Structure 1
Amino acid sequence: MELESQHVKLLCATAEGDRRAFAKLYQATSGKLYAVCLQLLQRRDLAEEAMQEAYVKVWHNAADYHNDKGSVLVWMVSIARYRALDILRSASYRRETRESVQEQADSSGPQGALFEQRDKVRIDECMDTLEDGQRQMIQLAYFRGLTHAELTEHTGSPLGTIKSWIRRGLQKLKRCLEP
């Protein structure tokens, strides 16, 4: 059976309250969802939290899925991404991140903090050398976690243009940051 049709079948059964189908759907998709969450959050505990919240939402909203929203996996990944982005936006995440960075700076001593600050300044200086479109796309994609499709929607620019801005911007950043 084709993977997508298997996902649809499992999701439909999940919508009817079938826990076994939900467990199979989890087994089939959890690796991908976890990878998405971990990539955005950079912490296992937060990625697991986002993934758990995403699967709770999938369980409760399985009946709301429609084929015109894309494949089941794409629909589930978008739920997981939004849960991860919600965590990133939360005040507690920002506070924990600040505390973690401060602890790392304290443990590495003044020299480590100096190197870290110098690298941050260098990255900021290199970002300032980018064209406006390149800088905006890189900030939205890498610092706010928007996908190419969301960038297209957000900016109204064609997908090819967005990809070009990001590619050229990253190449320019790489050249700027190389010793």
Structure 2
Amino acid sequence: MDGHAKWECGTCGQQHAGVAMVFGPQAPDPWLQATQAERDAGELNSDMCVLEIKGEWHYFLRGHIEIPILDVPGEVFSWSVWVSVSEESIQQVADHWEDPARASLPPLFGWLCNELPYKQSTISTPTLVHSRDPGVVPFIQLDPSVDHPLVGEQGMGITLHRLAEINHLVEVEAP
């Protein structure tokens, strides 16, 4: 969708401007909450993060929670989020970073590490991280057994109206 397009919402009947199809924080929440000394000892890039907190190392990967847009078949909205993974998992990812066959690796277990704008906390939601081809961020699959609106949205999809609501929530919460 064009960021400048307008569309009429079938739910509220109002005109909405184009909507962003990807939102997400630039770092995992523990990085944002860390002291400057902890950040200086860690590392953050656009795909991975390593952080020592109270003598324990934590490892994070960025990926996308993809949510189908019901009004626009084939389109998805993505939360670009960070998940914590084990040291073994981050090493496996690093070892296969440029491997053309990395998409065939088994999924990795992780915990969602970003608070998203939902009434119920999204922190520590269990996930599976599915590697994709080099250059494509991993797909984050939320545990479908968890009773959370975000899990329901990933499984069932959302309307353009809900996407406009998410856009508004993110704009309101932006610094």
Whether these two folds match at TM > 0.5 is no
| Structure with max Cα Rg | 1
* TM-score interval for Structure 1 and Structure 2 normalised by the shorter chain: under 0.3
TM-score by length of 2: 0.22
Q: Which has the higher strand share?
A: 2
Q: Which has the higher helix share?
A: 1
